[in-house]
Amino acid sequence: MRFKDKVAIVTGGGRDIGREVSLRLAAEGARVVVNFANDEASAAETLKAIKAAGGTAILRRADVTTGDGASGLIEAATATFGKRIDVLVNLAGGMVQRRPLAEIDEDFFDRVMNLNLRSAYLMTRAAVPHMPAGSAIVNFSSQAGRDGGGPGASIYATAKGALMTFTRSMAKELGPQGIRVNALCPGMISTSFHDTFSKDEVRKAVAGMTPLRREGRAAEVAAATAFLASDDAAFITGASIDINGGLFFS
């Protein structure tokens, strides 16, 4: 129960890795704010699962790529659980589409950057005034931010790379306040992300090249998230930790 009586916000917390992170934090005692933008049905299933396991959580729709959405989510959290936020997990993100350079217009560039980078900046800015010493922020980057991503993922990879730099900057700025900031960089994890954007033959080939010879599981990423958010990682900040089965070493 590393998070007993603590409050955690998980953006993009309704499905896949977000669901597992929300479930894990709640199972360890956190009062969780599960954020979603569009898929209310999946988010409702996450909330149902948390409550069925005896956990405490609320569900809140918010577009965290906007200042109003981010501040509204913080207001919902503090109105329900008090004026304290102990854990912020910036998981909202996505590739949107695979597009080569010739097909990337300015609107698409802005959309992908806003979803993956601007959202983390806005949520961090809104949450920090409510975060006491000992709090933690976990940002979600990607292996794509390390290696440039696969075909058509250049803007997604760019945003995720920038998010690692933002993580380091915030670790320096917020460290004197006792707030730790780290990032996770998942590789091939078995989620609907890859169901949408990766062909089956590519997934099998990647798994075959991975030293552990398989895709990762969302629950494994959730375990790493809980570690970074907990006091077990009390002297870790500014780190971007790979979780890819050994496929890529940074």
Q: What residue ranges do the domains of the chain occupy?
A: 7-243
Q: What pLDDT score was predicted for residue 184?
A: 98
Which residues in the chain show pLDDT less than 50? none
When the candidates are 3.30.1490.190, 3.40.50.2300, 3.40.50.720, 3.30.160.270, the CATH number that belongs to 7-243 is 3.40.50.720
Which of 3, 140, 156, 166 is flagged as catalytic?
Answer: 156
pLDDT computed for residue 199 by the predictor: 83
pLDDT of residue 193: 72
* pLDDT reported for residue 192: 73
Confirm if 205 and 5 have CB atoms less than 8 A apart.
Answer: no
Token pair 């920038």: residue: 162
Question: Which pLDDT score, from 0 to 100, does residue 51 have?
Answer: 97
Is 121 annotated as catalytic?
A: no
pLDDT for 200: 87
pLDDT at 195: 72
